[in-house]
């Protein structure tokens, strides 16, 4: 482990391997595994994460946008890459870098088909997204006839998979809704195969789906947040390992008297003598103002220290009155000992938002096997 002398995001590839193997163990040997590495691999480092997963023989990667796929290709990633939300402005780039778009509407299908035809491509790999209840992106079941008609006797595109996305697979109270999505996807898959006379891969499960609805794993399953150590369930979280740890160091320690204020807008005023430590990170690094004013704590030498006053752009102040510490000591915001999920809950948000919000100016340190 490196000594902490600045703000760093520590990325543990050993934990990534553990999580991948755990999630794979929930699937049949024949079920393919798609790893979601969008948004810098959930705020970590997409290139290091993807390279590690490629050595573990992952079957597919998924990114949100074309430029994310381009970064992986330029880093040497050879594994197929699905672009979940392709934009027409980047269709040429998608083709140039051999990325595979998820086509989700009549407009997107027709525009991509046109670009592929202009480039004289044959059997270009694409995926067809269906909406089964999330109501975000996707064709409806009634659009199957249009897809079949549009692609009839055309060889420009090769449909690799059809997919959908569960809306609430982590919520046991929404089991009936989730099952209705799976049942609808069953109907879509059957009709699609029949109308187009093909049998592409099918996939609908996300991380929580893998855990809670393994019967619906079809030919492939997708995992994003689970790879990074969060399963949307405490029991599952206990079996996963957190991949990233956000650490920093104490820049300065102040002793303040009663009725002294700390930080902008004087949001904290001491009632007694207190000892305050300043940390070199703030809302420009992804720790927003919502974490300030006594809502959230960090770990200093194994003890909890509350964030006090408003979080600044580049600094945070914490109360270390009852903690033995010195300038230069390590401080852990979240990671292996305090989860990002628990940290995020203090500000009424979720681990996804916290993790993906960590600024790229925070130095990444990768721990290899």
DSSP string computed for 27-74: S-TTSEEEEE-HHHHHHS-HHHHHHHHHHTT-SEEEESSHHHHHHHHH
- d(C-alpha 116, C-alpha 185), whole Å: 28
Closest CA to 215 of 188, 175, 160: 175
Strands 124-129 and 157-163: parallel
Contact 163, 127 (CB under 8 A): yes
Q: Give the residue ranges of the chain where pLDDT is below 70.
A: 1-3
**What domains appear along the chain, each with residue ranges and CATH number?**
31-228 (3.20.20.10), 244-367 (2.40.37.10)
Catalytic residue (choose from 114, 264, 303, 363): 264
Task: Confirm whether 38 is a catalytic residue.
Answer: yes
Residue 365: other Cβ atoms inside 10 A: 17
User: Could you tell me the CA-to-CA distances from 150 to 48, 125, 195 in Å, in that order?
Assistant: 40, 16, 12
Catalytic residue (choose from 38, 129, 202, 247): 38
Closest CA to 347 of 290, 268, 294: 290
> What's the confidence (pLDDT) of residue 3?
66
Q: Express each pLDDT in 157-201 by its tens digit.
A: 999 999 999 999 999 999 999 999 999 999 999 999 999 999 999
> What's the confidence (pLDDT) of residue 1?
41
Q: Express each pLDDT in 67-123 by its tens digit.
A: 999 999 999 999 999 999 999 999 999 999 999 999 999 999 999 999 999 999 999
Assign residue 25 a region (left: φ > 0; alpha: ψ between -120 and 50; beta: otherwise): alpha
Task: Confirm whether 264 is a catalytic residue.
Answer: yes
> What's the confidence (pLDDT) of residue 2?
44
């Amino acid at each position: 482990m490196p000594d902490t002398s600045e703000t760093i995001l520590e990325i543990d590839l050993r934990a990534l391997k553990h999580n991948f193997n755990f999630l794979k163990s929930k699937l049949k040997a024949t079920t393919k595994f798609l790893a979601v590495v969008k948004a810098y691999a959930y705020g970590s480092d997409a290139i290091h994460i993807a390279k590690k997963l490629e050595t573990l023989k992952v079957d597919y990667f998924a990114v949100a946008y074309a430029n994310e796929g381009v970064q992986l290709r330029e880093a040497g990633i050879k594994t197929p890459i699905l672009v979940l939300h392709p934009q027409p402005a980047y269709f040429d780039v998608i083709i140039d870098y051999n990325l595979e778009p998820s086509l989700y509407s009549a407009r997107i299908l027709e525009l991509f088909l046109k670009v592929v035809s202009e480039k004289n491509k044959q059997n270009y790999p694409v995926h067809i997204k269906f909406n089964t209840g999330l109501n975000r992106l996707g064709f409806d079941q009634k659009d199957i006839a249009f897809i079949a008609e549009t692609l009839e006797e055309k060889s420009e595109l090769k449909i690799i998979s059809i997919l959908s996305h569960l809306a609430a697979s982590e919520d046991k109270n929404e089991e009936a809704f989730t099952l209705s999505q799976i049942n609808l996807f069953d109907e879509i898959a059957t009709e699609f195969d029949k109308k187009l006379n093909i049998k592409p891969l099918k996939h609908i499960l996300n991380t929580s789906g893998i855990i809670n609805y393994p019967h619906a794993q079809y030919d492939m399953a997708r995992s994003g947040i689970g790879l990074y150590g969060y399963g949307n369930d405490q029991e599952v979280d206990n079996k996963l390992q957190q991949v990233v740890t956000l650490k920093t160091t104490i820049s300065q320690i102040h002793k303040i008297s009663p009725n002294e204020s700390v930080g902008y807008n004087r949001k904290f005023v001491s009632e007694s003598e207190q000892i305050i430590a300043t940390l070199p990170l703030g809302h420009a690094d992804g720790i927003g103002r919502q974490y300030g004013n006594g809502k959230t704590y960090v770990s200093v030498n194994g003890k909890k220290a509350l964030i006090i006053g408003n979080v600044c752009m580049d600094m945070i102040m914490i109360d270390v009155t009852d903690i033995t510490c010195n300038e230069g000591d390590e401080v852990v915001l979240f990671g292996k000992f305090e989860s990002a999920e628990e940290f995020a809950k203090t500000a009424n948000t979720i681990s996804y938002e916290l993790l993906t919000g960590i600024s790229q100016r925070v130095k990444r340190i990768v721990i290899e096997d």
